[in-house]
Amino acid sequence: MKIFAIFHLNLMFSSIPEESRSEVIKRCYWPLLHLIEEGFPLGIEASGITLEIIRDLDQRWIADFKKLLGEGRTEFIGSGYGQIIGPLVPPALNKANLALGMRSGQEILGTVPQIALVNEQAWSAGMVAHYLEAGYKAVFMDYDNPARYAEWPDHIQHFPQLAKGTNGESIPVIWSRSMVFQKLQRFAHRELELDEYLNYVESLGTADGWLPIYGNDAEIFDFRPRRYKSEAVQEAESEWKLIRQVFEILQQRGHKFQLPSQVLKELGHKHGGHELELSSACQPIPVKKQSKYNITRWALSGRDDFQLNSLCRAVCHNLEQEFPFSPDTENLWRELCFCWSSDLRTHITEKRYGEALDKLEELTFACKAAVREPDFEVCGIPAQQNGRMLKLETKSATITLNTAKGLAVHKAAFNSHGYTPSFGTLSHGYFEEIDLGADFFSGHIIMEGPGIPKDTDLARVTPLIDENENFISISCSIGLYQGMLDKAVRIHKDKEQIDILYRFALDCRPPGFARIGHVTLLTAEMNPAQLYYSTCNGGKPERFSLNGQTFDHSDNISFAVSASQGLGMTDSKVVLGGAERALEISPLYAEHGFIGMIKCRQAVPSPFVRVFFSMQEMDETSLRGCGPDPKFNFSTGFSIKPVPGE
C-alpha cells in the first residue's frame, strides 16, 4: 500500500485569536517541517493569507520550507488567496481568489502549485473550469461523501480519477478520506490505541493502491483552538511525537510515504482515470466529514452569515461592474477574498468578527455597494371576492390566492405555458401517502426554532388591491409570534413575472431556521422522467435530474443542525420543472445571500417537488440570543418566471 498525507495550514482558523498565531507556528508548523526533515515527504497546503501571516511572523519558517521544496522533500499544495467556499460565491470571485492564491505561492515560496486542495472539500462541478483556468493540474477532494450517493466500484477510492465539470471538461482528482484523517486525529489525541489505529489503516489498503493518511488541519496537534468544550485534553507528551511514531511504524511495515503528486502517475492505471460526477441531485455540494458539516455551515449560521454573505455579494456585484479584476484593482479583490473567508462564518471570536465586519463595511462604502430591499406598501382598496379564493388575471399570467392562508398561491399559470397551472397548492388528500397528508402551499414562510412556536404567515387576511400601469399588487399585514410581516403579491402586466414580497419587523433575529419563497410544482401534467432543477454553484449552470429521486435538502441532521444540504445559487436563481414547462425562481436582488433547498419525493398520483429559500439555519456555530441590536427588520422578495419548453 502506498500512502501520502497533506497538512492544511490556516492561521485564519475561526477560534484562534490573532495573538496566538505565533504560538501556532511554533507548536504546529515547525514540528510539521521537522517531520519532513526526518524523511517523511508530506504535502503542505496554505492559503495566500496564511502564507502572508507566516511570512510576517516567522521568516525563518518560510525560508526552511522553501529549502525543503527546493530539495524535493515536500510539496506545496495550493488553494486560493482566502479559504473561500467556492460553491457559495460568484464565478468572478472564484477566479480572482484562485489567481491571487497562485501568485502568493510564487511570490512567497518561489513555486507554482500543481494540486489544489478544495476548501473544506466543498465541491461543485462548476469549480472545475476555475481550477483549470488558474493553472492547476489536479485537485485534492473528499471521497467518502460523493461516494455515498454513487454506485462506484470499490477500487475507485484507491486511484486518481477525473472529476467532471459542466461543459465536458474534467480535472484529475486525488482522494482525501474524511474518516481516515479523523482516525489519525483520534490517535494523536489518545482516543485510539496504536494497534487500533494501525489495524484500521491496514484494513483499507490494497497492494498497488493509494491511501491518504491525512488531509486536514495542522492546528489541532499540540494546540487547541477551543471550539468545543469536548475537545480532547492536551497531554504533556507531544502529539507530533505520536504522529512521527506511527509514521515510522507504517514505513517499517512497507507502507512508504510519497509526495501527493506521485499519485497522479496512476491516472493511466486500469482502475484510474475514470470520469466521475461528484455531485448529485440530493447532494449538489458535497463537503468533508459527517452530514452535520454541510454547506449551510458557511451560508446561514455562525454569528450572522446571511448578513456577511449579502454584503459580500453586494460588493462583488459592484466590483464586477465598476472595478473588474486587474492589477490596478486587485487590492479591492484581495480585501473581498479576506471578507469572504469561511472562518469568519463559524466559530469566529467576537473581536475578530467585529473587525471583519468593520473591514467589510469600509469595503462596501469604497465600492459604493448596498444590499437593496424592495420598496412596497400595504395599500389599496379591499378586495372583492366570493369565498376564500381571490383570482386575478393579466394578459401574461393568471393567479389564484388563498386569503384564508395569508395570500398563499393556490394556483398560478403563465401565457407561454398555455395557462396550464405551473405552481400552487397541493391540498390535503392529494397524495395517497399519510406521510404527505398535509396542505403544501406556495409563497409562504416558515420560521421555527428551539423554545419558540412555529411561525408561518398562513393566517386569514383581508387583502388590499392596488393597480398601476405595470402590475397589480395584492397586499396584507400579518401578525406573527415574533413580530409583524407585511406581504405583497405582484402580477406584472407587460411581462410574465409574479413577485412575492416580504417585509419582516421582528423582535429578534429568528433563533432557528427561516425559510421563505416556497414554490410547490403542480406536477400532475408533467412527465416525471423529465423533471429537473438547475442552478449555479460558483460556476456555470449545473443540471440535476429528479427522475426517481427522493430527498429533502432541509432534513434536519439533529436537534442542533437544522438542514443537510443547499444550493449556492451564485447566479441568484433556480430553474425547476420539466421539459414541458419549467420555472425560474430568484430573489429580486442578486446580493441577497439566500441558498435554495429542493424537496423531491416520488409519490402517487404525481411526484412531490418544491423549492424554497433559506435566510437562516441552525448548527453548533450559530450565535444564540438576540445580541446587542435585537430588532430584525428586513425586506425581500422573489420573482417567478416561466422557462420556455424544450
DSSP 531-578: -EEEEESSSSEEEEE-TT--EETT--SSSS---S--B--TTS-EEEE-
The better pLDDT of the pair 544, 235 is held by 544
Query: pLDDT tens digit string along 353-404?
Result: 999 999 999 999 999 999 999 999 999 999 988 899 999 999 999 999 999 9
Report which of 407, 393, 412, 610 is spatially closest to residue 489, judged by C-alpha positions: 407
Split at pLDDT 50, 70, 90, the class of 236 is low
Q: Residue 31: helix, strand or coil by DSSP?
A: helix
Residue 373 within any structural domain of the chain: no
Final residue before a domain boundary, out of 366, 400, 423: 366
What's the mean pLDDT in 508-518? 91
Q: Residue 212: helix, strand or coil by DSSP?
A: strand
Do residue 351 and residue 390 come from a single domain?
no
Split at pLDDT 50, 70, 90, the class of 229 is very low
Q: What is the DSSP letter of 318?
A: H
Query: pLDDT tens digit string along 567-578?
Result: 999 999 999 999
Query: pLDDT tens digit string along 142-162?
Result: 999 999 999 999 999 999 999
* Element containing residue 45 per DSSP (H, E): strand 43-46
- For the record, the C-alpha cell of 47 comes out as 492559503
* pLDDT given for residue 384 in this prediction: 87
Do residue 425 and residue 553 come from a single domain?
yes
Residue 413 within any structural domain of the chain: yes
What's the mean pLDDT in 410-437? 95
Q: What is the DSSP letter of 624?
A: P
Split at pLDDT 50, 70, 90, the class of 623 is confident
Residue 525 within any structural domain of the chain: yes
Q: Residue 302: helix, strand or coil by DSSP?
A: coil
Query: pLDDT tens digit string along 157-178?
Result: 999 999 999 999 999 999 999 9
* pLDDT given for residue 237 in this prediction: 81
Residue 570 within any structural domain of the chain: yes
Do residue 66 and residue 89 come from a single domain?
yes
Phi, psi of 31 (to 5 degrees): -60, -30
Query: pLDDT tens digit string along 271-282?
Result: 999 999 999 999
Q: Is the CA virtual torsion 347, 352, 358, 361 positive or negative?
A: negative
* pLDDT given for residue 230 in this prediction: 46
Do residue 570 and residue 504 come from a single domain?
yes
DSSP 359-377: HHHHHHHHTT---------
Do residue 152 and residue 252 come from a single domain?
yes
- For the record, the C-alpha cell of 15 comes out as 477560534
User: For a pLDDT cut of 70, what percent of the chain falls above it?
Assistant: 97
Q: In angstroms, what is the C-alpha Rg of the chain? A: 26
What's the mean pLDDT in 93-120? 97
Residue 629 within any structural domain of the chain: yes
* pLDDT given for residue 80 in this prediction: 97
DSSP 399-455: EEEEGGGTTEEEEEEEGGGTT---EE-B-TTSSSSGGG-S-B-SS--EEE-TTS--E
Do residue 286 and residue 387 come from a single domain?
no
Do residue 313 and residue 222 come from a single domain?
no
Do residue 229 and residue 245 come from a single domain?
yes
- CATH number of residue 127's parent domain: 3.20.110.20
Instruction: Give residues with Cβ within 8 angstroms of 350, minimum separation 6.
Output: none
pLDDT at 542 over 60: yes
Residue 558 within any structural domain of the chain: yes
Domain count, the chain: 3
Report which of 91, 570, 96, 131 is spatially closest to residue 331, judged by C-alpha positions: 96
What's the mean pLDDT in 495-504? 97
21 and 73 Cβ atoms separated by less than 8 Å: no
Query: pLDDT tens digit string along 26-61?
Result: 999 999 999 999 999 999 999 999 999 999 999 999
85 and 52 Cβ atoms separated by less than 8 Å: no
- CATH number of residue 638's parent domain: 2.70.98.10
* pLDDT given for residue 62 in this prediction: 98
User: For a pLDDT cut of 90, what percent of the chain falls above it?
Assistant: 91
Which residue intervals of 140-292 are DSSP H helices? 144-148, 178-188, 194-204, 239-252
Which pTM was predicted? 0.95
Q: Cα 107–112–114 angle (5° rounding)? A: 150
| Segment among 28-42, 55-69, 222-236, 616-630 with least mean pLDDT | 222-236
Query: pLDDT tens digit string along 326-361?
Result: 999 999 999 999 999 999 999 998 899 999 999 999
Residue 372 within any structural domain of the chain: no
Do residue 259 and residue 344 come from a single domain?
no
145 sits in the region (left: phi over 0; alpha: psi -120 to 50; else beta) called alpha
- For the record, the C-alpha cell of 254 comes out as 512497507
Residue 546 within any structural domain of the chain: yes
CA distance 106 to 114: 12
Do residue 332 and residue 210 come from a single domain?
no
* pLDDT given for residue 59 in this prediction: 98
Do residue 70 and residue 164 come from a single domain?
yes
Final residue before a domain boundary, out of 244, 277, 297: 297
What's the mean pLDDT in 527-536? 97
Q: Domain range for residue 101?
A: 2-297
| Mean pLDDT rounded to a whole number for the chain | 94
* pLDDT given for residue 646 in this prediction: 66
| Segment among 169-178, 217-226, 527-536 with least mean pLDDT | 217-226
Q: What is the DSSP letter of 629?
A: S
Q: What is the DSSP letter of 26?
A: I
Query: pLDDT tens digit string along 199-212?
Result: 999 999 788 899 99
Do residue 411 and residue 550 come from a single domain?
yes
CA distance 639 to 585: 6
Final residue before a domain boundary, out of 366, 395, 417: 366
Split at pLDDT 50, 70, 90, the class of 451 is confident
Torsion of CA 550, 551, 552, 553, to 10 degrees: -150
Q: Residue 23: helix, strand or coil by DSSP?
A: helix
